[in-house]
Amino acid sequence: MKIDVLVAEIGSTTTVVNAFNDINTDNPKFIGQGQAPTSVLEGDVRIGLNGAIDSLAKSLGEDKVEYEEMLATSSAAGGLKMTVHGLVYDMTAKAAKEAALGAGAIVHNVTAGRLRRTDLKKIKESRPNIILIAGGVDFGERDTALYNAELIADMNLNIPIIYAGNVENQEEIKLIFEDMKSKLYIVDNVYPKIDLLNVEPTRKVIQDAFEDHIIHAPGMEHVRELVNGPIIPTPGSVMESAKLLYEEIGDLIVFDVGGATTDLHSVTAGSDKISRILLSPEPLAKRTVEGDLGVYINMKNIVDLIGKDKLSKELGFDSKNLIENHVPIPKTKEQIKFVERLAQEATLRACDRHAGIVRDLYGAGGRTSIAEGKDLTEVKYIVGTGGALTRLPQRIEIMESIAKSNTTKTKLFPLEEAEILVDNDYIMASLGVLSKRHPKSALLLMKKSLGI
């Protein structure tokens, strides 16, 4: 059987391939899925990829399948690990971190100001795939970014370096790294003016650098023998889907509750009312990842947040046995009810950490209201993807509880009018990278999966 496009999601434990036909027509189709254990740690990604393709063929009732294109997302071997180094934490360092997270990175270390010996030690220990250097608005402070670049160059780590700071430093940065093994990427400043973020160019370059790097990573060296299209980080691919969908339907937020982490992607400018009192700018497209909120690997963290006694009382039965014998895929009524409560807590906590807040300040002139963080009040759609929010029976109710939980009304949460959408085919991660080559088809497939 001939397939137009396969999209592989190479995860840390499982490799999934999604098959799409009739690409570049008015009716593209998602026709099936296959999966197999990921084989990166075994030294050859092709074993898992071929296993997933064989699984797909079996699900389609075929002996084998052939394909025109294969694209890929990857979170294998720890995903895209980055360190970020800026000038002022609430300005250039924050902007650089937003760029990295939005590209799908796991940010292991963020520093502001001149690097210290302890910072250099942390960089070595975290073994990043990419280092991002920023600092200074255009034609502003120059020395900190140059000082940091010199120290990083002296480390001779042989990993990609991205410079996204003061434009005046670009030629100096080129000289600093000209004899280094590290590949250097120069990109527009992430914070060119006070209160102006410019993260999208850096996000694109991070994904380009990831693709250049990942094909040389241990276990991934032969990936190009099967994958003949783009390879981007899996969380970055979900962000690409969210941005594509935003262009079609407007302000939205995407929840991805997984076994180990909970990701949120919001694409919204917020309201004019809040923007007038916002202390610092927020990106249009923002991602946060909560590494402690997962319904399987990090289940006990969520249980501790709820409280065991409270959890048992809410469930109507003793949860001790379920906690001690937790399973990755719930099957019994009690297991499902337990995981639904975990998913709800992960969703609410992640939204609370992602969303901004309005505060009142009191001074000689009376009360003044200020806002900090991301304003989600203009969100029209709440989208659920990932295993929990696409498969659990109470997935709609879980997402509906977000607005209802904002009892103080000080948090900048989505309102109750926001419509709930579910990625029923569980393909948003695949469609983000598909949109790099086939944006129209990716959008049509996404709307089908969401029931739009």
CA gyration radius for the chain? 23
> With contact defined as beta carbons under 8 Å apart, do 141 and 94 qualify?
no
**Span 202-250, pLDDT tens digits:** 999 999 999 888 888 888 888 999 999 999 999 999 999 999 999 999 9
Query: 265 lies in a domain?
Result: yes
Residue 196 CB contacts under 8 Å (≥ 6 apart), including other chains: 281
Among the candidates 77, 97, 117, a domain finishes at 77
Residue 274 CA to residue 9 CA, distance in Å, equals 38
Counting residues of the chain whose pLDDT is more than 90, the rounded percentage is 79
In a domain? residue 63: yes
Question: How many residues would you count in the chain?
Answer: 452
Q: What is the mean pLDDT of residues 181-202?
A: 93
- Read off the tokens for 300: 């006990």
Last residue of a domain, one of 45, 77, 109: 77
Residues 95, 164 share a domain: yes
In a domain? residue 24: yes
Domain boundary residue among 77, 96, 111?
Answer: 77
Q: What pLDDT is stored for residue 198 in this prediction?
A: 94
Q: How many structural domains is the chain composed of?
A: 3
Helix (H) or strand (E) segment spanning residue 9? strand 2-10
Alpha helices in 229-332 (DSSP H): 234-249, 272-275, 299-306, 308-315, 320-324
Q: In terms of domains, do 98 and 153 share one?
A: yes
What pLDDT score does 79 carry? Answer: 79
- Angle at CA 401, nearest 5°, toward 450 and 285? 55
Asked if residue 265 and residue 371 are part of one domain, the reply reads yes
Q: 285-333: per-residue pLDDT in tens? A: 999 999 899 998 899 999 999 999 999 999 999 888 889 988 888 889 9
d(C-alpha 452, C-alpha 450), whole Å:
6
- Contacts by 322-325, CB closer than 8 A, 24 or more apart: 323/299
3-state secondary structure 39-93: CHHHCCHHHHHHHHHHHHHHHCCCCCCEEEEEEEEECHHHCEEEEEEECCHHHHH
219 HSE (CA, 13 A, CB side): 18
Percent of the chain as helix, strand, coil, to the nearest 5: 40, 25, 35
DSSP assigned state of 232: E
What domain range is 254 assigned to? Answer: 233-292+354-450
Confidence of residue 180 (pLDDT cuts 50, 70, 90): confident
Is the residue at 33 inside a domain? Answer: yes
Q: Which two tokens stand for residue 338?
A: 């337990």
If one counts every other C-beta atom within 10 angstroms of the C-beta of residue 42, the result is 11
pLDDT above 70: percentage of residues in the chain: 100
**74 and 231 Cβ atoms separated by less than 8 Å:** yes
